[in-house]
């Protein structure tokens, strides 16, 4: 391919990636080290109360934003170093918790509580997504041609549904007098409140993520099964290999690059878990790193947003994603070179 043709194909993608990924990332990185404060000035304002026959007037001192020639607020930016990162991580409190022999106390800090849930959510759902996706792919691949279409359609439905809508649907099955909650109460003959327990909400969010993402793994694995060497499978059957042995020594080695691919996608996506927190209304019990960044950007009572802390939280989230996928990337690179 000629260089000019190559850049015609690749150039638009590179331009959009720089515009929508690289530049916003650089902006967030910059905002995590600099603090912008609007300039204010004090002015005397005279207020008069309605009165008869005389008015009562008083002069009070009020603060207002300084505006430039175009009517925009004037801001002052100064370098704060790692102050935003310290305010998010709170290393002094962490050190005190470990020094006092009570490491569980760090879970009172929002960042570490969100990190605990995010890491647990990511690594617990991963094997279920891989296992369920592979099981569905094997079932469809071994089914008859007549049943293959309906099974594929039903299997893809969870992935087609919008994430928030699917999460809310499962949430309403258990909240209050939901259908599933009433069935459990009828079997146990006692009143229960599923959504009031943090562990139950966390388990439901994990169940929803596996239910929603497993069809994606199924599609990838099913496509990979079409390329399995039939001669190798028949040779294994002739040699007396069982179904499990054929799966372990023939099918899984063939699907290993696809397993690595699905693992990478799932790790990056699950580490940014956010929709489940919103759909299950779980922010009072479980929060994620992505939700913590969103919470920092919500205006407080005075209308200010903690943009610096949100930027620091975003950068820490990205560092965590890189650390998690780095071993998988190194394994894939070694296999590629081999």
Summarised one tens digit per residue, pLDDT across range 12-30 is 899 999 998 899 999 999 9
pLDDT in the model for residue 244: 85
**What is the DSSP annotation of 9-27?**
HHHHHHHHHIIIIIHHHHH
CA distances from 220 to 100, 152, 159, 325 (A): 49, 13, 13, 19
pLDDT in the model for residue 241: 83
**What is the DSSP annotation of 246-284?**
HIIIIIHHHHHHHHHHHHHHHHHHHTT--HHHHHTT-TT
pLDDT in the model for residue 52: 65
In the chain, pLDDT over 90 holds for what percent of residues?
29
Instruction: Give the tens place of pLDDT for each residue, 44-91.
Output: 777 777 766 676 777 777 766 677 777 777 777 888 888 999 999 998
d(CA 160, CA 130): 18
Instruction: Give the tens place of pLDDT for each residue, 111-166.
Output: 999 999 999 999 999 999 999 999 999 988 888 878 888 888 888 888 888 888 88
Nearest to 175 by CA among 140, 200, 152, 154: 200
Which helix (H) or strand (E) is 314 found in, with range? helix 307-337
CA distances from 293 to 21, 34, 183, 234, 306 (A): 17, 17, 38, 54, 9
Does position 7 have pLDDT exceeding 80, yes or no? yes
Report angle CA 305, 306, 312 to the nearest 5 degrees. Answer: 145
Instruction: Give the tens place of pLDDT for each residue, 300-313.
Output: 776 678 888 999 99
> Where does residue 217 rank: exposed (0-12), middle (13-18), buried (19+ CB within 10 A)?
buried
Instruction: Give the tens place of pLDDT for each residue, 187-226.
Output: 888 888 888 888 889 999 999 999 999 999 999 999 999 8
Where do the structural domains in the chain lie, given as residue ranges?
A: 37-78, 103-337
Nearest to 139 by CA among 128, 129, 148, 149: 148
Does position 324 have pLDDT exceeding 70, yes or no? yes
pLDDT in the model for residue 314: 92
Q: What is 103-337's CATH number?
A: 1.10.3720.10
pLDDT in the model for residue 302: 66
Residue 161, SS3 per DSSP: coil
- Contacting residues for 93 by C-beta, under 8 A, at least 6 apart: 105, 106, 109
Query: Of 101-110, 132-141, 255-264, which gets the smallest average pLDDT?
Result: 101-110
Band of residue 101 on the pLDDT scale cut at 50, 70, 90 = confident
């Amino acid at each position: 391919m000629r260089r000019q043709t190559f850049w015609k194909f690749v150039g638009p993608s590179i331009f959009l990636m720089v515009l929508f990924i690289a530049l916003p990332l650089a902006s967030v990185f910059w905002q995590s080290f600099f603090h912008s404060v609007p300039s204010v000035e004090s002015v005397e304002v005279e207020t008069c109360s309605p009165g008869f026959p005389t008015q009562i007037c008083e002069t009070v001192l009020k603060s207002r934003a300084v505006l430039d020639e175009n009517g925009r607020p004037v801001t002052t930016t100064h370098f704060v170093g790692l102050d935003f990162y310290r305010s998010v991580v709170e290393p002094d409190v962490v050190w005190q918790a470990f020094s006092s022999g009570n490491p569980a106390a760090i879970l009172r800090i929002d960042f570490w509580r969100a990190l605990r849930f995010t890491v647990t959510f990511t690594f617990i759902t991963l094997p279920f997504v891989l296992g369920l996706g592979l099981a569905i792919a094997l079932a469809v691949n071994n089914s008859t041609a007549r049943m293959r279409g309906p099974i594929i359609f039903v299997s893809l439905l969870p992935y087609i549904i919008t994430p928030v809508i699917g999460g809310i649907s499962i949430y309403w099955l258990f909240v209050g007098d939901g259908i599933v909650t009433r069935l459990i109460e009828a079997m146990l003959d006692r009143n229960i409140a599923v959504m009031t327990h943090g562990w139950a909400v966390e388990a439901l969010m994990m169940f929803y993520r596996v239910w929603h993402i497993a069809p994606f793994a199924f599609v990838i694995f099913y496509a990979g099964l079409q390329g399995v060497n039939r001669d190798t499978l028949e040779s294994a059957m002739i040699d007396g290999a069982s179904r499990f042995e054929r799966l372990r020594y023939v099918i899984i080695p063939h699907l290993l690059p696809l397993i690595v691919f699905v693992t990478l996608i799932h790790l990056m996506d699950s580490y940014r878990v956010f929709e489940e927190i919103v759909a299950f209304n779980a922010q009072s019990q479980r929060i994620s790193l992505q939700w913590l960044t969103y919470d920092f950007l919500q205006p407080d009572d005075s209308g200010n947003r903690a943009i610096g802390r949100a930027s620091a939280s975003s950068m820490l989230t990205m560092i965590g994603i890189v650390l998690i996928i780095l071993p998988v990337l190194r394994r894939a690179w070694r296999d590629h070179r081999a």
